[in-house]
Amino acid sequence: MKELQDKKAFICDMDGVIYHGNRLLPGVIDFVEWLQKENKKFLFLTNSSSRTLRELSEKLARMGLCVDESHFYTSARATAIFLAAQKPRGSAYVIGDAGIINALYDEGYSINDTNPDYVVVSESANYDYARLCHAVKLVFGGSKLIGTNPDLTGPVEDGIVPATGALMAPIELTTGAKAYYIGKPNPLMMRNALKKLECNREDTVIVGDRMDTDILAGVEAEITTALVLTGVTKREDLKNYAYQPDYIFEGVGDIVSGA
């Protein structure tokens, strides 16, 4: 446990680790205060792409945690950076909310519903049949298909809801196209996080609630992994995976208490 606590940098998922919806999870305040008191480098790295960095910071503030927006990084931001590197000043048709749209604008992209370079899909309350059909039409017309993250589900206050991977499935099945996903466990996301932290992988730990994204991302990047059981993956699910986390906790508060 001391070896984990001595790490210089912490990459933490948010949904299922820090909160469920608008409900802060037990032990989170102690954990974040410990990170700040011990001068740890830390980054909240989320596959959720609906909110901007400022909105994420403000959401935590409403729940009693003051964390500057510089400590956040999302799959939306990673997606926009990737697309700008692939095709500078390109265009995209987006099924998504402010997080991905603003990130694309920041990287010089325009929104285009006629002949975009890319169709970008993320979790969104604006997902509907009309947008789905239009996305299919554009992909058939030659637009490349991008997903902000591969998550099939996401935890909320009262259960589990569909996430980007599930929303993408009808487009892939209809067109035969295979989406390229930017979020965890894509190594691009982890490399960007380490660059932002200015820390190497040996001194870093990733804390997450999903074996198929958070923990897999850490395993593939050779970063120490800590699974918390407050989100999607349960202890009984571990037998289904060929890889295992380095540490398992009931919640992030146990990282501080040493439980």
Catalytic residue among 13, 209, 212, 254: 13
Rounded Cα distance between 224 and 12, Å, is 12
Is 237 a known active-site residue?
no
Q: Rounded distance, CA 176 to CA 197, Å? A: 38
For residue 239, the 8-state DSSP code is G
Cis, peptide link before residue 170, omega less than 30° from 0? no
Residue 113 annotated among the catalytic residues of the structure: no
Burial status of residue 236 (CB atoms within 10 A of its CB: 0-12, 13-18, 19 or more) = exposed
Cα separations (Å) of 230 from 27, 70, 164, 200?
Answer: 11, 25, 21, 27
Active-site residue identified among 6, 15, 117, 237: 15
Tokens at residue 5, please?
């606590």
Catalytic residue ranges: 13, 15
